[in-house]
């Protein structure tokens, strides 16, 4: 190990602490560097507060005889943490209030007007887009003259000049269409068939984030009570309980009966075998439309495959898919 002078060690420790704060947001490790190597106890305590380690910050100040700084550092950190948590919980409520009713509206439209929901009615899509930007471009083949030209084995009449097969061109076009549809599916633009799937996944992620926030709220409530801030602790605990209640209601509405009323049902083991074999029987895919047809539908490729996966994912909500669980928050015994 190369020995370092005191000045070099101090510079190195300061640089490392700054990197941990700005890039890694590892406030606990940065606090340890300030306390043990830079001997800056107030800064170390502030970093512990930024990392929601209020009890450790209080202990560190008391251990080094800096009790008068506890109200200035710890109480200020608690106030900042409570403000940030209040804003976060308000964002949770606003997102649920906006997205859950929209999901219910889309599901009603899927049942009452499936043609417009799946993009089959260009007039409805134009009305949804306002200026017609989302309208479907239906080709007009009326003016095309009839021709006797034909293609054989995927080859066009121009293949002998270009040296390219129709199969290669079709494969490239399918890949391009798939990437285009994947971008549409990821964006979940309002008014498209991918909107419901996007909103359902958004609610799922929100519930997971709320579950991850429960521990922070419990720690914040306990820290507020230690500093005698009972009213603030009760307010933040009540706000968290309200968010958890909304999440439970949203879970039942979005994931509990999400597959009801859909024209497609979740795939059974026999259907999965049919998919692996390269095709699905039409009476298994749409049992209410085609019964006993005795033929297999071609496996979707390219953009159609992305569309099909989205439809099956939306139809399978609450039917075989993992439903996010809403955790319970442990109420403080000092507030009840």
In the numeric block, which tokens belong to residue 156?
Answer: 């066009």
Phi and psi at residue 248, in whole multiples of 5°? -65, -45
Sequence-distant (≥ 6) Cβ neighbours of residue 27 within 8 angstroms? 20, 21, 47, 48, 50, 51, 53
Tell me how far CA of residue 215 lies from CA of 113, 203, 219, 327, in angstroms. 44, 20, 6, 10
Asked if 317 contacts 259 with a C-beta cutoff of 8 angstroms, the reply is yes
Residue 36 token pair: 């043990």
Sign of CA dihedral 168, 170, 173, 179: negative
Reported as a single tens digit per residue, the pLDDT across 284-295 is 343 333 334 454
Q: What whole-number distance in Å separates Cα of residue 263 and Cα of residue 312?
A: 10
From CA 181, how far away is CA 48, in angstroms rounded? 46
Q: Which two tokens stand for residue 19?
A: 């990197």
Question: Would the CA dihedral through 270, 197, 317, 103 be positive or negative?
Answer: negative
Segment 40-93, tens digit of pLDDT: 999 999 999 999 999 999 999 999 999 999 999 999 999 999 999 999 999 999
Give Cα 273 distance to the centre of its chain: 30
Q: Token digits for 197?
A: 């799937």
d(CA 144, CA 148): 13
CA–CA separation, 313 and 298 (whole Å): 19
pLDDT, one tens digit per residue, over 273-319 is: 434 434 443 333 433 333 344 545 567 777 677 777 777 777 766 55
Q: Which helix (H) or strand (E) holds 281?
A: strand 279-281
Q: Which residue, among 245, 256, 242, has the nearest Cα to 324 in the 3D structure?
A: 256
**Cα–Cα distance, 44 to 66 (Å, whole number):** 12
Confidence category of residue 168, pLDDT binned at 50, 70, 90: low
What are the structural domain ranges in the chain? Answer: 75-119+175-256+303-335
The pLDDT value given to residue 223 = 94
Tokens of 93: 């409520």
DSSP 8-state secondary structure symbol assigned to residue 297:
E
- Spatial CA neighbour of 216 closest among 230, 190, 236, 191: 236
Structure tokens at 306: 């992305």
Q: What is the CA radius of gyration of the chain?
A: 30
Q: 28 is written with which tokens?
A: 């606990």
pLDDT, tens digit, 9 for 90 and up, residues 211-244 = 999 999 999 999 999 999 999 999 999 999 999 9
pLDDT exceeds 50 at position 270: no
The Cα–Cα gap between 202 and 196 comes to 10
Longest dimension (CA), the chain: 97
């Amino acid at each position: 190990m190369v020995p370092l002078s005191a000045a070099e060690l101090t510079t190195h420790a300061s640089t490392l602490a700054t990197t941990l704060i700005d890039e890694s947001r590892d406030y606990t490790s940065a606090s340890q560097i300030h306390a043990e190597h830079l001997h800056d106890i107030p800064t170390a305590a502030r970093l512990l507060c930024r990392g929601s380690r209020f009890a450790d910050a209080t202990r560190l100040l008391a251990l080094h005889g800096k009790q008068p700084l506890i109200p200035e550092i710890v109480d200020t950190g608690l106030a900042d943490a409570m403000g940030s948590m209040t804003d976060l919980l308000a964002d949770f409520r606003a997102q649920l209030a906006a997205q859950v009713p929209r999901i219910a509206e889309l599901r009603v439209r899927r049942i009452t007007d499936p043609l417009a929901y799946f993009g089959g009615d260009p007039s409805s899509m134009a009305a949804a887009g306002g200026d017609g930007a989302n309208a479907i471009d239906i080709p007009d083949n009326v003016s095309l003259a009839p021709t006797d030209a034909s293609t054989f084995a995927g080859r066009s009449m121009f293949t002998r000049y270009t040296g390219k097969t129709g199969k290669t061109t079709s494969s490239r076009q399918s890949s391009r269409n798939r990437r285009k549809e994947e971008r549409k599916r990821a964006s979940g633009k309002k008014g498209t068939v991918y909107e419901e799937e996007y909103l359902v996944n958004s609610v799922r992620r929100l519930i997971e984030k709320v579950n991850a926030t429960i521990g922070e709220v419990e720690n914040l409530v306990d820290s507020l009570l230690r500093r005698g801030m009972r009213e603030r602790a009760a307010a933040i605990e009540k706000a968290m309980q309200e968010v958890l209640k909304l999440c439970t209601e949203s879970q039942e509405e979005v994931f509990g009966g999400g597959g009801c009323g859909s024209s497609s049902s979740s795939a059974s083991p026999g259907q999965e075998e049919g998919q692996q074999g390269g095709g699905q029987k039409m009476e298994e895919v749409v049992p209410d439309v085609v019964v006993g047809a005795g033929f297999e539908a071609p496996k979707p490729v390219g953009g159609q495959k992305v569309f099909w996966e989205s439809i099956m994912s939306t139809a399978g909500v609450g039917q075989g898919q993992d439903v996010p669980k809403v955790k319970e928050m442990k109420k403080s015994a000092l507030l009840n």
